[in-house]
Amino acid sequence: MEHIVIIGNGISGVTLARHVRKLSDKKITIVSAETDYFFSRTALMYVYMGHMKFKHTQPYENWFWKKNRIELKKGYVKQIETEDKMLHFAEGDTLQYDKLIIATGSKPNKFGWPGQDLNGVMGMYHKQDLESLETYAPNNEVCKRAVIVGGGLIGIELAEMLNSRKIPVTFLVREDSFWNGVLPKGESEMINEHIKNHHIDLRLATNLKAINSDEHGNVKSVIIEETGEELECNVVGLTAGVAPNVDFLRDSGIEIGRGVKVNRFLETNIPDVYAIGDCAEQHEAIGNRRPIEAVWYTGRMMGETLAQTICDNKTEYKPGHWFNSAKFLDIEYQTYGWVFAERGRPEYEQHFHWRHAKENICITVAFHKDSNEFLGINTFGIRMRHEIFDKWLTEKRDVDYVMSHLKDANFDPEFFKTYENDILTQYNNTFNTNLTAHKKSWKRIFSKV
Amino acid sequence: MKAIKTIGLVIFLIGLAIFTALPLLGTYNLNEADFNTIVKEQNIKSDVFINELKSNIIGTDFNGMQTLSPKISEALNNANESHIKNKEWDKKIYTSSSDMAAVIGKKSANGFIANNKGFMWFLTFGLGIIGALMFILPNVILLGKKGIKNDGVYHESATNRGWIGWMVFIFLVSFYLVLYFASEYATNWTLIVDPISESLSGNPAGHWFVYGFMYCTVMTVMAVRMYIKYRHNIYQVFRTTSVLFFQIVFAFLIPEIMVRLQMPYYDFKNAFPLDYDFFFQWNLKDLINNGGIGIFILVWGIVLTLIVVPVMVYFFGKRWYCSWVCGCGGLAETLGDPYRQHSDKSLFAWKVERYLIHAVLLFVLIMTGMTLYSFFTETGTVLGIKTATVQSIYSLVIGSIFAGVIGTGFYPIFGNRVWCRFGCPLAAYLGFVQRFKSRFRITTNGGQCISCGNCSTYCEQGIDVRAYAQKGENIIRSSCVGCGICSAVCPRGVLKLENGPEKGRINPTEILLGNDVDLMDLVNQK
Ligand SMILES: Cc1cc2nc3c(=O)[nH]c(=O)nc-3n(C[C@H](O)[C@H](O)[C@H](O)COP(=O)(O)OP(=O)(O)OC[C@H]3O[C@@H](n4cnc5c(N)ncnc54)[C@H](O)[C@@H]3O)c2cc1C
Ligand code: SF4
Ligand code: SF4
């Protein structure tokens, strides 16, 4: 029986295993050094905040693996011998494979800051980081202040986590507005305000220079690059992005760039070795996507796709329309299609932006300024229906159509106040159009492309 | 703000302590005249009992029900024993000793509590309400900006099965045990709500009035907490208002006022088979003897169960009843909300749930069948089994122990919907309709789920919502009561409760939206 070995029990590896099991009878082993069972990394924050216990982050009950004949092996892969198809573990044992899938995910970036390995300095990626945070920042007496370095999605989650235990937070962000490499100006500014409203000491355009230690090797303070200011703190969170977790592969013969280099079939340069999820790097970016896509959904999609190939239905990784979502403290964010920030925005892309006068609600719609084709939408504080936007993108609807059918797309809970009319009024005023809002129609919602 | 909360907590606990002590306090002295009235009203023919009470109880001071109740029970047992021996069946007393003690206690209470009802009400209910509100209201400010407020749920003893949770458990269970099995100890509680009862129905309060009044009070106070906690979520605000309205107006006020108007006591929203004794002989007779209004209630009760319930479930899902109207649901969604995370999400629990709830449904149907057969044929037995025995087993095991003691008492341990999930026969019936013929579903938003588990954790019905959401499938489960909390707590906007066309409602998927469309077609079509 063919033995499929997967390194990494994250979303990509586990999705692959589940689908291979559905399609075949192959022997499957998942290897991980982090935890016994698959858990949802995206939920780590809720454990610290007391919304859930760690066991609630595990999407499958423990009996699931045995029942589906998916073997779980805890251990750290130190080395791969692709000639003999053999894994060597740090613990000394080995494992033979017929097909190997590398799904080792990411690790937090460290940019060589002085003091970056002190006690109390941590990323927020692995379960061990959560445990370390629990040790160094159990409450605001042990941790009088925490400094977070790097203003991305994980950084703001870490800020929210610490805030929930009333630990004062200073948030150092290199950019001059939060996440403005991705978010257009209006949205980024709204998030700046929202962060400050939560009494988080947000420092924009500010870099870390060094982390100082006390006599026990614990964090004592940080030094700010721009001003030389010294900030006393007990915990430093490094959340300046993530990089593929591939160092152990450096001399395995598998081609490595920043991540494991793969083609559109998720194959590496070595036969029978594949890579998926955060650690995979496409030779060439697919459409507007980045060569390394470190998000949950893409890891899952790669797993779904590669299972076909492994089970003799060779299938190209061909993701559909881009979508994503996040939550900035209390503000939910969703995006469908492409909406670019100022930086890197194609010259044909034009935006329409609407923001509620009082609430933290706004949307940005991107469209082609010549053809009027709808390109994408960002929404904050309004939930939208994925199916509808996916369909509109496939149908290449023009922006006028989208604006006048927004009610079809609303996904907020029942009885919520709706804003389509306000949005449309502003749109009409801006572009001198005379569109009227169409009532929500189940028929349109359920119609196929 | 913090200080206000602390003071509020102290005041609340004082009120609660006095309330808890009441069953054992108070003085009783039964006089001859009152006793004669009782003998008349209760139609007591036992000379043994009357004489024993006359010599041992009348004119004597008793301190606390615990001194009086054993005497009465002893007298009653002695009396019945001798009547049985002498085959004097017409003299035997069928009233339970607990009920007898309650009747006598109520008439004979004469001390401070009986003479200062209003003041005692203030010391118990009054302090409880004021204290609880002082504890809850500062959250408007302390909870900060609107949003999901589950910080620390699993750090706090009260909501994480810690010692506070266990104390609440013991209190609730004891309270229900008194209510169902030792109602004489509720005498003082009935005294302090007498003025309210008299102003509504014209009668002094019994222990069920205490329960009803307390139910409404607790729901109202805890609804304030819901309003603050979910103030960003208008669905929750509406829903809470709705259950509160139906509890206070339909379950509490209207039946009391109907009694004042010489009509039968009836809760118009309480549908059979939750209202399991609706078809009991005494109830049918009572309704039929009540003329127009009685017949109306009879017809309404049948129409409610056979037509209104399923039609409404078809259009809106079971939620219209379970989390918008029902009293059990109402308490679960207010008092029980802090405990919703304790419902067991395992596959094993789901199996137990399906066996139990359908067994109860079967039980109630068989019992009702027997009841109706006995009613129309005027026999007491069906196939040799006594209908009355079956009825009393159901009333005791399901009606009292399961629905009350376990259903509510176990809130802090097993979550707030133990009864609704594992026991309620009406829920089972509604569930069939919801599962097989309804426009209701919880739509999963394409591929947006990140498997975080908030939805499953906070589903009070123990549904593993994530298991569906992470596959891109809509959630169609007979047990879903449509509380909408899964949708509220989802950080990615994945879940929406909605009513739509039946077609496409159930959508098993393997590959989620966002991936290659050809792959989706290939795999999902299978
Ligand atoms: C706090 C946080 C929040 C996030 N929130 C979101 C979000 O909201 N939306 C979103 O789209 N994405 C989010 N992400 C990103 C998302 O979680 C990742 O993209 C995804 O988990 C990657 O999955 P994966 O399967 O590729 O790898 P991983 O989940 O990283 O799994 C890889 C596993 O392999 C193990 N491993 C690595 N090397 C070895 C070795 N040599 N031997 C043995 N085992 C090894 C690792 O220990 C790990 O357990 C978040 C990430 C974090 C950290
Ligand atoms: S599935 Fe959602 S709406 Fe239904 S009972 Fe559970 S939490 Fe409530
Ligand atoms: S809460 Fe939302 S994102 Fe989290 S598992 Fe449930 S549906 Fe998925």
pLDDT in tens, A49-105: 999 999 999 999 999 999 999 999 999 999 999 999 999 999 999 999 999 999 999
Domain match, B407 and B446 both: no
Domain match, A230 and A129 both: yes
Measure in Å the smallest separation between the Cα of A21 and chain B Cα atoms.
Answer: 13
Domain match, A265 and A354 both: no
Residue B496: inside a domain: yes
Q: For chain B, what is the mean pLDDT?
A: 94
Sort B372 into a burial class: Cβ within 10 Å, 0-12 / 13-18 / 19+. Answer: middle
Residue A185: inside a domain: yes
Domain match, A247 and A100 both: yes
Q: How many domains does chain B have?
A: 3
Q: Ligand 3 atom 2: the closest Cα is on which residue?
A: B490
- Which atom number of ligand 1 is nearest to the Cα of residue B491? 8
Q: Band of the pLDDT at B522, cuts 50, 70, 90?
A: confident
- Domain containing residue B461: CATH number: 3.30.70.20
Domain boundary among B63, B81, B108: B108
Domain boundary among B108, B142, B158: B108
Domain boundary among B389, B409, B426: B426
Residue B288: inside a domain: no
Cβ–ligand 3 distance for B449 under 6 Å, the answer yes
What number is the ipTM of this complex? 0.96
Q: Identify whether the C-beta of residue B273 lies closer than 8 Å to the C-beta of residue B426.
A: yes
Instruction: Write the CA distances from A204 to A178, B268, B466, integer angstroms.
Output: 7, 61, 37
pLDDT of amino acid A177: 97
pLDDT of B526 strictly over 70:
no
- Number of Cβ atoms within 10 Å of the Cβ of B410: 18
Residue A442: inside a domain: no
Q: Do A46 and B503 touch (CB under 8 A)?
A: no
Q: Ligand 1 atom 31: the closest Cα is on which residue?
A: A10
Q: Assign B163 to helix, strand or coil.
A: helix
- Domain containing residue A205: CATH number: 3.50.50.60
A309 touching chain B per CB within 8 A? no
Percent of chain A with pLDDT over 90: 98
Residue B277: inside a domain: no
Facing residues of A365 across strands?
A352, A377
Residue B339: inside a domain: no
Residue A42: inside a domain: yes
Backbone angles phi, psi at B111, to 5 degrees: -85, -155
Please, how many CA atoms are within 13 Å of residue A222, restricted to the half-sphere of its CB?
A: 27
pLDDT of A304 strictly over 90:
yes
Range of the domain at B74: 27-108
Q: Assign B388 to helix, strand or coil.
A: helix
pLDDT of amino acid B144: 86
Residue A447: inside a domain: no
Domain match, B360 and B398 both: yes
Domain match, A196 and A257 both: no
Q: Do A51 and B145 touch (CB under 8 A)?
A: no
Percent of chain A with pLDDT over 70: 100
- What mean pLDDT do residues A214-230 have? 97
Domain match, A128 and A236 both: yes
> Which of A330-344, B42-56, B431-445 shows the lowest per-residue confidence on average (mean pLDDT)?
B42-56
Residue A291: inside a domain: yes
Residue A315: inside a domain: no
Backbone angles phi, psi at A375, to 5 degrees: -110, -30
Domain match, A249 and A102 both: yes
Domain boundary among A271, A287, A310: A310
pLDDT of amino acid B224: 98
Structure tokens at B226: 């819901």
pLDDT of amino acid A92: 96
- Domain containing residue A389: CATH number: 3.30.390.30
- H runs (alpha helix) in A211-369: 296-310
pLDDT of B404 strictly over 60:
yes
Domain match, A281 and A384 both: no
B510 touching chain A per CB within 8 A? yes
Q: How many domains does chain A have?
A: 3
pLDDT of amino acid A307: 97
Contacts of B487 in chain A (CB under 8 A): 413
Residue B195: inside a domain: no
Domain match, A134 and A233 both: yes
Domain match, A42 and A91 both: yes
Q: Band of the pLDDT at B303, cuts 50, 70, 90?
A: very high
Domain match, A274 and A302 both: yes
Range of the domain at A132: 121-240
- What mean pLDDT do residues A331-353 have? 96
pLDDT of amino acid B50: 93
Q: Do B150 and A197 touch (CB under 8 A)?
A: no
Domain match, B514 and B462 both: yes
Interface of B with A in 209-248 (CB under 8 A): 232-235, 238
Domain match, B407 and B472 both: no
Domain match, A236 and A134 both: yes
Interface of B with A in 297-356 (CB under 8 A): 346-347
Domain match, B409 and B363 both: yes
pLDDT of A449 strictly over 80:
no
Domain match, A39 and A91 both: yes
Contacts of B515 in chain A (CB under 8 A): 301, 304-305, 318-320
Sort B291 into a burial class: Cβ within 10 Å, 0-12 / 13-18 / 19+. Answer: exposed
Domain match, B387 and B464 both: no
Please, how many CA atoms are within 13 Å of residue B452, restricted to the half-sphere of its CB?
A: 26
Residue A30: inside a domain: yes
Domain match, B414 and B455 both: no
